[in-house]
Amino acid sequence: MAKGLALQIGWRFWRGRNNNGFVSFISLSSVVGITLGVAVLILVLSAMNGFERELQQRLLAVVPHGEFIAVDAPLHDWQALVAEAEAENEVLAAAPFVPIQGLLQRGDAMKPVQLRGIDIELEQRVSAAPQFIDAAGWQSLRSEQPNVVLGSALAQHLNVSVGDRVSLLIPAKEARQGPTRQVLTVTGLFDLGGEIDNSIAFSNINFAASMAGLAGPNGVRIKVADLFSASRVVRRIGFRQSQYMMLQDWTRTQGHLYSDIQLVRMLTYLVLVLVVAVASFNIICSLVMAVRDKQHEIAILRTMGMSKGSILSSFMVQGAVTGAIGCALGAAIGSLLAWRLPQLVAWVEQTFSVKVLSGDVYFIDFLPSQLMLRDVVLVSLLAFIVTLIATWYPAWQASRLQPVQALHR
């Protein structure tokens, strides 16, 4: 009964805050601050979730999880290395390849490129590249002819299309020798929508080996079930090999991207705490003024037998209602914006002729978003708890108010 009365009085106090215009303004600013803090954090977290999803499903679907590359020589027995790698429980598949660092040239335009000679039958087990390459271009890599599949951004830079020819300059092993030139026919394009389109090209594995002067593949790449175990798995397999080779995993080549995403996520939580803290100070101010404004009412309630705990609960209700409204509005606005974030960014880019993310700099050229219920609940709950903590002090002060002193003022 007492709890119900405290809730009812607290609700009436909150509804009656409009009697004091300044208190109403402070209370409204508190709601707006909490709403903005919750909405912004949900929006940024959704963007970070989207970046993480694209990193895993787009970039790391094509970039090797782990690599074993023999130095200046073909692998002694790449079939045995593939079999040994696939025998590991954490390895899903393995495939041979030939990596070549070179320079593509078309007229006066030049661009450095990482050419990867692949076996399309084995490569599709460890890579999602076929999903981004047209069927004709992918099948052209089956032939040992001088064919190449380029990233769309790389092709645009060189001003070439399917059917055109480009020259590949490969540095010589000996310093006194000039680079080797090979004319390649562009047979396909792929589009991942990021910086990888500017630097990667694919060719047939046997043709690439002959270009590099090798008798066979000099590298094996693996796909692991758990991305974060790639470094450990690569070292465990590589240290068992007798041939000298370079060990590499995605955390060395692309790990900075994941670290940046996690750093932004952590900083975003810090920003939320600061924004909600500012809004909480407004709640404290509004409740302190509400306590001063309701001194006589509090005194009358105390003389009628209402306990200190009920008075405290009544004012806690005011802060809780303010926090709940701000959290609910922030969750709704943030979820709506996060749900339509890619479309909103695309509209801004088209309307104002600006580019938010450049494919030359970032691994994708669009702003992704993945709204997760867990983030919405966690952010709203965290903000609500902070507002409750801020509410406690003025509510406690109200419960300590002496009726005699209040009535004589």
Angle at 122 between CA 120 and CA 128, to 5 degrees: 70
Query: Do 243 and 289 reside in the same domain of the chain?
Result: no
Spell out the residues 6+ positions from residue 377 whose beta carbon is closer than 8 angstroms to its own.
Answer: none
Strand partners of residue 113: 102
Q: Of the candidates 383, 263, 286, 270, which has an alpha carbon nearest to the alpha carbon of residue 334?
A: 383
The token duo for 182 is 């090979």
What are the backbone angles phi and psi of residue 183, rounded to the nearest 5°? -90, 125
Helix axes 255-293, 21-54, angle to 10 degrees: 170
Domain boundary residue, one of 253, 282, 300: 253
Query: Do 229 and 370 reside in the same domain of the chain?
Result: no
Query: Do 262 and 198 reside in the same domain of the chain?
Result: no
Query: Do 24 and 124 reside in the same domain of the chain?
Result: no
Q: What is the pLDDT of residues 264-284, one digit of tens each?
A: 778 877 876 777 777 777 777
Domain boundary residue, one of 253, 284, 311: 253
Query: Do 9 and 70 reside in the same domain of the chain?
Result: no
Query: Do 261 and 390 reside in the same domain of the chain?
Result: yes
3-state SS assignment for residue 1: coil
Query: Do 287 and 368 reside in the same domain of the chain?
Result: yes
Query: Do 7 and 132 reside in the same domain of the chain?
Result: no
Helix axes 21-54, 373-399, angle to 10 degrees: 150
The Cα 101–Cα 115 span in angstroms is 6
CB-count burial class (<10 Å; 0-12, 13-18, 19+) for 13 = buried
Beta strands in 152-252 (DSSP E): 165-170, 180-190, 200-204, 219-224, 245-249
Spell out the residues 6+ positions from residue 365 whose beta carbon is closer than 8 angstroms to its own.
Answer: 193, 194, 355, 357, 358, 359
Spell out the residues 6+ positions from residue 204 whose beta carbon is closer than 8 angstroms to its own.
Answer: 117, 118, 141, 142, 143, 144, 145, 147
Query: Do 243 and 107 reside in the same domain of the chain?
Result: yes
Query: Do 225 and 268 reside in the same domain of the chain?
Result: no
Q: How far is CA 142 from CA 125, 149, 215, 240, in A?
A: 15, 12, 18, 32
What is the number of structural domains in the chain?
2
**Can you give the pLDDT at residue 297?**
66
List the chain pLDDT tens, one digit each, 409 residues: 445 555 665 566 556 554 556 666 777 777 888 888 889 889 988 988 888 888 777 778 788 899 999 987 889 899 999 999 999 999 999 999 999 999 999 988 899 999 999 999 999 999 988 888 888 999 999 999 999 999 888 998 899 999 999 999 988 776 667 788 999 999 999 887 767 888 889 999 999 999 988 888 999 999 999 888 999 999 999 999 888 899 999 888 777 777 777 777 788 778 767 777 777 777 777 767 666 666 656 666 666 667 766 767 777 777 788 888 889 999 999 999 999 998 988 888 888 888 777 656 666 777 889 999 998 998 899 888 888 887 887 777 766 666 655 455 5
Residues 191, 104: contact at Cβ < 8 Å?
no
Query: Do 300 and 372 reside in the same domain of the chain?
Result: yes
Beta strands in 57-145 (DSSP E): 66-70, 91-106, 109-118
Query: Do 243 and 115 reside in the same domain of the chain?
Result: yes
**Can you give the pLDDT at residue 54?**
81
Residue 340's domain comprises 2-58+257-407
Helix axes 308-339, 295-303, angle to 10 degrees: 130
Domain boundary residue, one of 253, 288, 310: 253
- Put simply, whether the predicted model's pTM sits higher than 0.95 gets the answer no
**Can you give the pLDDT at residue 67?**
93
